[in-house]
Amino acid sequence: MVDIKEVMESEEMRDVVTALDALKRRWAPSHQVTDHIRPTVLALVGKYKAKEILQVLLDSKEYYPGYKEVLAASFGGWLIMPRERRVREILMVHAALNHMHDTEWKLGEAQLSLERDITARYILTSMDFLIEIYDSLGGYQAFAQNPSFEMMWIAFERDEKVINTAVLAMTFLHHAIDQFSVRGRPFIPSLNKAVLVLDELKATKPPFPYKEKYVSRSLLHQRWSQNKQTLALLYAASTIRINRKTLLQLILDGFFSYENHQPYLDIWVCRARYVAAHIFARMGDPDLERKTISLIGGGHATAFAPQKLSIVETAAFNTAFRNVINI
């Protein structure tokens, strides 16, 4: 039987470690940041540190490969279900698996060899990743037992409908502010005014498939009141198109990634600042603007127009705001 202690302390092992250190010094990707905080500490220990994580995603500093990818996955999970630690953990594991798969893909298709294994594991993946992410997330057992995306989509279903309802409500408020402010009439937006439009949608004849897409006002109010800091980012994400989907759809599908969506981060945050200034600042709840800016920080805001309403939505909007329109 092999004596593990003897192997670990052998001269041959010391030679292997020395050789691996030499390989890493020459070939491993360099990263500038050495005083970073482990992803699991930021995302899974205690309260979720959304502000700090967003700052990392927005900065131009270089970290070890996989660091920002795993944090981005956690941020997407937090936006969907802010109070569910397990959701963030599952998405972080998926992001880590994707990173490990990408490193193997870079080696191309060939028979497994010691050289290929060393290159994938210690050079492309890196010991930092293996220690701070792979091992900290639970190692092989956690990765082998991680739920599939299909299971996640089932778990997200109700939250997805709640988020879509909140986004539609904000779309109506955005339209109302743009239309009625231009006419010089005082208009104070509120969630209850948006709910009036949602009520009109429910009453549409022939029936509008409201229950298939959206939720009741009680669930909407619950999400709105308990997760104010996420609303502007969710709405802004719904206005950014990436190929045939919106950034919000990609987040809800669990596919938000730093590698694929980093080019959209600045415009996303700048639009969220505009939501805070253009919509939330006019509302009677100062926490909406305050919590949004506390998360995303002050800075440049990028104006954008609300998405065009459908014929049915336009009719409901006009009916709900008839008194304002006819003034």
| Whole-number pLDDT of residue 316 | 95
42 and 101 housed in the same domain: yes
220 in the same domain as 89: no
pLDDT category of residue 323 using cuts at 50, 70 and 90: low
Residues 105 and 237 placed together within one structural domain of the fold? no
Q: Do 171 and 130 belong to one domain?
A: no
In the prediction, which pLDDT does 174 show?
A: 97
**Could you tell me if residue 12 is inside a domain?**
no
What confidence category does residue 37 fall into, taking pLDDT thresholds of 50, 70 and 90?
very high
15 assigned to some structural domain: no
Q: What percent of the chain has pLDDT over 90?
A: 63
Task: Decide if 103 is inside a domain.
Answer: yes
Domain boundary among 104, 125, 146: 146
Where a domain ends, among 122, 146, 170? 146
Say if residue 52 is in the same domain as residue 137.
yes
Indicate whether 201 pLDDT > 50.
yes
Average pLDDT over residues 221-232: 97
102 and 163, same domain (yes or no): no
Same domain for 180 and 110, yes or no, is no
Does 178 share its domain with 277? yes
Query: Residue 184 has what pLDDT?
Result: 63
Six-digit token pair at 248?
A: 């919000």
Q: In this predicted model, which residue has the larger pLDDT, 326 or 241?
A: 241
Q: Say if 157 falls within a structural domain.
A: yes
Q: 151-167, pLDDT tens digit by residue?
A: 888 878 889 999 999 99
Return the bridge partners of 242, or none. 245
Considering only CA atoms, which of 90, 125, 79 is closest in space to residue 229?
79
The reply to whether 211 and 246 lie within a common domain is yes
| Statement: residue 327 has pLDDT above 70 | no
Same domain for 165 and 260?
A: yes
Q: Which of 119, 146, 173 is the C-terminal boundary of a domain?
A: 146
Residue 205 pLDDT grade (very low, low, confident, very high; cuts 50, 70, 90): confident
Under the banding of pLDDT at 50, 70 and 90, the label for residue 326 is low
Q: Is residue 186 part of a domain?
A: yes
Poorest-confidence range of 134-138, 152-156, 210-214, 224-228? 152-156
Q: How many domains in the chain?
A: 2
pLDDT tops 60 at residue 200: yes
Residue 62 has pLDDT above 90, yes or no: no
Does residue 9 sit within a domain? no
**Reported confidence tier of residue 32, pLDDT bands at 50, 70, 90:** low
The pLDDT mean for the chain works out to 90
Domain membership flag for residue 11 = no
- Reported confidence tier of residue 71, pLDDT bands at 50, 70, 90: very high
The answer to whether residues 96 and 206 belong to one domain is: no
Q: Is position 13 within any domain? A: no
| 106-161 residue pLDDT tens | 777 767 777 888 887 777 778 889 999 999 999 888 888 888 888 888 878 889 99
One domain, residues 130 and 171: no
Range of 218's domain? Answer: 151-326
* pLDDT beyond 90 at 29: no
Three-state SS string across the chain, please?
Answer: CCCHHHHHCCHHHHHHHHHHHHHHHHHCCCCCCCCCCCHHHHHHCCCCCHHHHHHHHHCCCCCCCCHHHHHHHHHHHHHHCCCCHHHHHHHHHHHHHHHHHHHHHHCCCCCCCHHHHHHHHHHHHCHHHHHHHHHCCCHHHHHHCCCCHHHHHHHHHHHHHHHHHHHHHHHHHHHHHHHHHHCCCCCCCCHHHHHHHHHHHHCCCCCCCHHHHCCCHHHHHHHHHHCHHHHHHHHHHHCCEECCEEHHHHHHCCCCCHHHHHHHHHHHHHHHHHHHHHCHHHCCCHHHHHHHHHHHCCCCCCCCCCCCCCHHHHHHHHHHCHHHHCC
